[in-house]
Structure 1
């Protein structure tokens, strides 16, 4: 069964190999730490350099004003984690004892800074050095990486044996293709949430439309209500509902942005809302890798499979085809799978432990390129494609055939694109249920690393919504700090045990406050 060309293998244990990492956010820091842990690094066979465009580590957790287009981070003032930090943290580095269970962004940034300092990662990071381009030198079997040192404006070219793409995917905003939205954006009546920092973003606007039901959308609704504004919250699939004495109107998906003078929007059920002063769209982000030429990473939806395409595609919803959501599976022409890896692509996950698992698998492939079986990986990709296609077809059978499925904002390059293929793209890297934990275990097994996801982590991930609700209540009552006092001050396994005990105590509190939930 011949799916792909033979993979290029460039591993040579007798020659020092150089690894390039793009970015020093959560993904790049995890990559550096795992590399430093390796026997190859300790033996002098691997070196690593991370290029970071900004002046500090931390990625999206490093604040910045919304002045660039787009801003270098979507971080807003009120942001806290939406996962309890024992679930979110790197497995090798817990948050400090007594940390708020759902810490603010400033605490998370300090965590990454401490992580980099503790594991001596900073010496491998070149700050203020964006990557401009990456090309493959097939003759030398190297990656040619061009960067710019911002302090001198000088461009530099370096050769690497391996490239780890860790630049994140929360910068380039995705705007829906809803009719009329363009006019609202042009009139500065609508803006993506990447530009939001606090309610003052909207000046004297009294009624704000928030589009999107994810964590950011929910946070913005909370912010705006607390500021005294009225909010219309558009959430796909939501039933119409008026809350907070009518100050919050929950509505379904928007069908059209209408008359600007009236501040009018029409929803898919035919209902309308007027008097909207501003709109903010928490509608997600596009995958963006500007350092790869479009001739190499094609900016479009890939053709239906099988067979797998012979090129790598960026639909902005997914990168395809990637073996294990990490390794380009297009043969040795432009992207030899054993020399390049994309980190942190999956969504709806606990990211930091997943990054550790991915990185261990990456180093296993760098060391043992033959371990990545292209035929089996192609079979697995085709199987996932067929599963998702069947799921999308079933969903479309019960909805309007002209509507783009949930998670899809519309065509990328033209109306001829198949909504089914778009929906598959949108779902490709989105892990449902416990898929992320199965994936992590599979990546560790592949890397021959003896770690499996502990049961408590799955339990607490599933309970994250209840835990966050209870924690917010404790904060309102002024009791949160007392609850976490000295929690996590033990040593070794005691650290995790203390945090698990706290979270279970919080769940018992929720049961006592809401006994009806336990009967559901």
Structure 2
């Protein structure tokens, strides 16, 4: 990507400061893109990322479980990606040659550290430092109080704290009693299968975590009762799939919505996701922790429903801010997160440098249009249903969104604009392989089981990205012409690993 031929003058006194909260995948992407800008290169912008932990990586950095509160990451020992890494990677850095097509979590952790090193991000990251509170000054700047008790002021704020820290619990009669007696926990604390949970375990939730944990514990010899909303009764070996749970009884009985009862359940793992939370933003004048009202009209205040943040222009910028100097990255789900985060970061620095580029009227129309479309698709204008669906992209919507962000942020096409020129268009092969992710993952698991996976990736990637694309094409062709991928641990992993 070429930078426009613009000379900027910057001094330490006149430079604007950018605070990034978090050094996980979103914070690293934001920092990398900032360093690409002519504003940073001239000294006009000075970024710093605050990371509460002692290393970068966010959700991909393992965390010990404690009784004091939710762990920093819900990463369990066996987790692997369910996206092929050529699709999953940042556009600015591929995974190393010969990497497993669906790598385990520790490989992704190493990849994020390599990203940090390659783009010299470490000097701009302050580890072991959490952001305690953020307030807005009368002049619109951000007053940031750190865990060190220092207070720093910034011109811009980029929120990249991730959303896998605050467990979401269902409203389920009996759950509180089971948890109080150590017979239930959220999947955030799960790390590996063990008979400490007993021989008959109930798992609630059909996201990637619920599916992975059910399969893993069943292979360990535990009888699994897997509760999936809207699912009928189905027995598959050690796994008994059932519908929604309506009550947990103290005697180990579990009552389901169809009236069936399972007896002798020894433990319950709740894999029902996480809440969007910003504990460092307590001021309701910045964001209100409540469900927003139905629209129209679009509210001027910003709301966090714990399912979505609303209203945001481009799912990033608070619509009601006349001076858009805050951005929320990584709120979208069912997307390929890493490359999308770089695209969101490009849009962020473009708006910070050129506030007039954000057309609030057009953004309001886009929000109204999405609200109307979702209401029609859901058959309801219930704000809670819309909140659930708001940041959830379907089919190729995420790829259109990425293309639009790069087009919007392309400084080379906008006269008088200072910023990064050029854009990245999502290629057709990436869309094709994303659509085929389940088939590809089944086939890869088959290759690992038969011991030939290493041979398939031998020397692949040493000659460039085209070798990975050719490999994925060969895998897909082979998988579609055989039955080798019919049974595997990942048979129903239909979401990307943006949601654990």
TM-score, L = length of structure 2: 0.90
Residues 516, 297 of structure 1: alpha-carbon distance in 2 compared, 3 angstrom cutoff? closer
Structure 1 position 509, deviation (Å): 1.7
Q: Write out per-residue CA displacement over residues 165-221 of structure 1, whole angstroms, 9 at most, x where no aligned residue.
A: 001011100011122222222222111100000113x60500111111111111101
**C-alpha separation between the residues in 2 aligned to 1:272 and 1:496?**
53
**C-alpha separation between the residues in 2 aligned to 1:210 and 1:479?**
33
- Corresponding residue of 1:213: 206
Structure 1 position 501, deviation (Å): 1.1
Q: Counterpart of 2:438 in 1: which secondary structure?
A: helix
Are the counterparts in 2 of residues 392 and 420 from structure 1 also a CA contact under 8 Å?
no
- Corresponding residue of 2:418: none
Q: Counterpart of 2:481 in 1: which secondary structure?
A: helix
Please list, as runs of the form range in 1=range in 2, the aligned pairs for 1:105-184 lying within 5 A after superposition.
105-139=105-139, 141-149=140-148, 155-184=149-178
**C-alpha separation between the residues in 1 aligned to 2:312 and 2:247?**
36
Q: Select the residue among 276, 286, 293 that pairs with 1:287.
A: 276
**C-alpha separation between the residues in 1 aligned to 2:283 and 2:155?**
22
- Corresponding residue of 2:244: 253
Moved more, 55-64 or 271-280: 271-280
1:63 aligns with 2:62: yes
Are the counterparts in 2 of residues 237 and 253 from structure 1 also a CA contact under 8 Å?
yes
1:345 aligns with 2:331: yes
Q: State the number of aligned residues.
A: 463
TM-score, L = length of structure 1: 0.87
Structure 1 position 385, deviation (Å): 1.1
For structure 1, the residue ranges without an aligned partner over 5 or more in a row are: 1-11, 150-154, 395-418
- Corresponding residue of 1:410: none
Structure 1 position 287, deviation (Å): 0.4
- Corresponding residue of 2:366: 380
Structure 1 position 311, deviation (Å): 1.0
- Corresponding residue of 2:401: 439
Are the counterparts in 1 of residues 27 and 160 from structure 2 also a CA contact under 8 Å?
yes
Moved more, 60-69 or 426-435: 60-69
Q: Counterpart of 1:470 in 2: which secondary structure?
A: helix
Q: Select the residue among 318, 324, 349 that pairs with 1:363.
A: 349
1:485 aligns with 2:458: yes
- Corresponding residue of 2:226: 233
Q: Counterpart of 2:395 in 1: which secondary structure?
A: coil
Are the counterparts in 1 of residues 59 and 72 from structure 2 also a CA contact under 8 Å?
yes
1:264 aligns with 2:249: no
**C-alpha separation between the residues in 2 aligned to 1:458 and 1:302?**
34
Are the counterparts in 1 of residues 442 and 485 from structure 2 also a CA contact under 8 Å?
no
- Corresponding residue of 2:312: 322
For structure 2, the residue ranges without an aligned partner over 5 or more in a row are: 1-7, 411-421, 487-500
**C-alpha separation between the residues in 1 aligned to 2:443 and 2:271?**
25
Structure 1 position 13, deviation (Å): 7.5
Residues 173, 275 of structure 1: alpha-carbon distance in 2 compared, 3 angstrom cutoff? same
Q: Write out per-residue CA displacement over residues 394-438 of structure 1, whole angstroms, 9 at most, x where no aligned residue.
A: 6xxxxxxxxxxxxxxxxxxxxxxxx92111101000001111101
Q: Select the residue among 444, 464, 472 that pairs with 2:445.
A: 472
